[in-house]
Amino acid sequence: MRQKTLRILVLASLALLAAGGAMAADLWLHVRVEEKDGATVKVNLPVTMLEKAVGMIPEEHFHDGRIEIDDWHTSTADLRELWVELKDSPDMTFVTVQEDDEFVRVWKEAGYLKVNVRDGEEGMGGENVDVSLPMSVVDALLSGDDSELNITAAIEALVAEGEGQLVTVSGDDEKVRVWVDRVAEAE
């Protein structure tokens, strides 16, 4: 189960990197993972550290603040076209999937792209995932050239957005929370 928690932590962190930063000097990115067995992982990073860490990504994958995506199954151009359509649409639900004990909803509301996934019944191995990304962060992420995602711009956009909840995952075995606020060391 620790590998699953680690994967969730990495995905949540990548979502944040892909999502952006906050009033840099006084905003903090927090990741908290609590496992059923009592193990807890707490990460408290100043957003400015994310901005600096971008420069540490190996150049074969990352250059000038951008990640290149060559062998992805869809092009960034297609993603940009889809994003423009979604961004220009009114607040609404785009996707709802309900099957047995699984539920997925993707919607746009008040400047945020939101995703809600309910997989299984809570208490029976189920997991709940909630993602709330500021649209400005996704906009900035997709501002890269050609087949690139602009991570630097996304971090800057997250900084401009300020405090907020980004990702929560809760299940029978663990709970994960990723958020940005002005508290250096979150409880």
pLDDT along the chain (187 residues), means of 10: 51 48 66 91 88 72 61 72 92 94 94 92 76 95 82 89 93 91 85
- Look-up of token digits 């639900």: 93
Q: What local confidence, expressed as pLDDT, does residue 7 receive?
A: 54
Residue 44 forms beta bridges with which residues? 30
pLDDT of the residue at 8? 53
Burial pattern 64-78, b for ≥16 Cβ within 10 A else e, equals: ebbbbbeeeeeebee
Q: How far apart are CA 18 and CA 137, in angstroms?
A: 8
Which pLDDT belongs to residue 20? 42
Give the pLDDT score at 178: 93
Q: 28-35 and 174-181: which strand pairing?
A: antiparallel
